[in-house]
């Protein structure tokens, strides 16, 4: 079969397309890099300038407000442990990376999900692309990200966005489509415009499902921190990667535990925010 059908030069085509984009859209990629760097540095600066004890207390009160008392107590104990182990600065940097990736994913994903819910043609085009984004190995994202943005935090954020965005789009689309037809028809009967119907009927009723998508987005972005560390993104992922390469089991466990604590806090808080808005 190989003799009858020569190999398609797919790799050459992809490399040519990447080179073409880099040659003609270099300024655009520089702008994206500057924006992402600015947001990550802003979040990191805010988290670093606040005293650790004050930030721990603030996050504990935030967890108390949005979640259960048990989550607030876990937040207090977990962040105290992270600080005690010496991973506070890297945890805050990781949080800055995750929040930046999640913010970009939500900014793009929610409007795209709304568009998919309103236009079947858009949904039919977007869904296969989401399947591709979710099934392609995460390491593959790093190759063009490094080519366009170099090493460091920016390609790590870009790879996290690609990996984390699909649930936001899917669940926004699902939430709006699950709004009862009777309520939509009632809004039409009262003369609501499409914008009024979206803002006052569909989005409020779809909030729990949309928040579930945002929750998954944050969790997936956090799961990329170790992979992103392989291309120069700092934070807890770099500590884990360093421990793996140097076979330091104890240090790897401590850094991994800090990631787990951060993941549980973000997961429980975003889950309960969605439930409170039902």
What is the per-residue pLDDT for 76? 92
Task: Categorize the per-residue pLDDT at 2 as very low, low, confident or very high, splitting at 50, 70 and 90.
Answer: low
pLDDT at 1 over 60: no
The beta strands (E) that lie in 7-105 are given as none
The pTM for the full model equals 0.84
What is the per-residue pLDDT for 243? 85
What is the per-residue pLDDT for 79? 92
What is the per-residue pLDDT for 276? 53
248's enclosing H/E stretch is: none
Percent residues over pLDDT 70 in the chain = 94
Mean pLDDT over each residue of the chain, to the nearest integer:
83
Distance CA 42, CA 262 (A): 19
pLDDT at 232 over 80: no
Identify the residue whose tokens are 């600065």.
Answer: 89
Q: What is the pLDDT of residues 16-75, one digit of tens each?
A: 777 777 777 777 778 888 888 888 889 989 988 989 889 999 999 988 887 778 888 999
- What is the fold, at CATH topology level, of the domain defined by 27-276? MetI-like fold (1.10.3720)
Of 145-149, 256-260, 267-271, the one with minimum mean pLDDT is 145-149
237's enclosing H/E stretch is: helix 236-245
Task: Categorize the per-residue pLDDT at 219 as very low, low, confident or very high, splitting at 50, 70 and 90.
Answer: confident
| Residue 161 contacts residue 228 (beta carbons within 8 Å) | no
pLDDT at 83 over 80: yes
pLDDT at 14 over 80: no
Following DSSP, what letter does each residue of 192-229 receive, concatenated? --HHHHIIIIIHHHHHHHHHHHHHHHHHHHHHTHHHHH
pLDDT at 207 over 80: yes
What is the per-residue pLDDT for 242? 84
Domain locations in the chain?
27-276
Task: Categorize the per-residue pLDDT at 107 as very low, low, confident or very high, splitting at 50, 70 and 90.
Answer: very high
What is the per-residue pLDDT for 278? 45
What is the per-residue pLDDT for 81? 93
Mean pLDDT across 217-244:
81
Structure-token pair, residue 171: 């669940």
Q: What is the pLDDT of residues 117-167, one digit of tens each?
A: 888 888 889 888 888 877 877 777 777 777 777 777 888 888 888 888 899
pLDDT at 277 over 70: no
């Amino acid at each position: 079969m190989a003799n009858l059908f020569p190999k398609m030069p797919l790799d050459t085509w992809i490399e040519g397309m990447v080179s073409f984009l880099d040659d003609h859209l270099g300024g655009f990629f520089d702008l994206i890099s500057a924006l992402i760097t600015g947001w990550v540095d802003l979040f990191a600066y805010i988290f670093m300038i606040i005293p650790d004890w004050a930030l721990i207390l603030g996050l504990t009160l935030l967890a108390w407000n949005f979640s259960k008392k048990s989550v607030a107590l876990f937040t207090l104990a977990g962040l105290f442990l992270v600080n005690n182990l010496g991973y506070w600065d890297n945890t805050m940097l990781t949080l800055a990376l995750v929040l930046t990736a999640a913010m970009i994913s939500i900014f793009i994903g929610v409007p795209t999900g709304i568009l998919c819910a309103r236009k079947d043609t858009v949904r039919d085009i977007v869904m296969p692309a989401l399947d591709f984004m979710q099934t392609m190995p995460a390491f593959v994202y790093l190759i063009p990200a490094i080519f366009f943005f170099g090493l460091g935090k920016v390609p790590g954020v870009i790879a996290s966005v690609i990996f984390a965005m699909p649930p936001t789009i899917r669940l926004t689309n699902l939430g709006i489509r699950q709004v009862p037809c009777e309520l939509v028809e009632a809004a039409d009967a009262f003369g609501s415009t499409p914008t009024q119907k979206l803002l006052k009927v569909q989005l409020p009723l779809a909030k729990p499902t949309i928040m579930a998508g945002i929750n998954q987005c944050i969790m997936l972005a956090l799961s990329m921190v170790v992979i992103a560390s392989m291309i120069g993104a700092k934070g807890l992922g770099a500590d884990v990667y360093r421990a793996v390469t140097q076979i330091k089991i104890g240090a790897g466990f401590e850094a991994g535990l800090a990631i787990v604590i951060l993941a549980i806090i973000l997961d429980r808080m975003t889950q309960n925010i969605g439930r409170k808005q039902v």
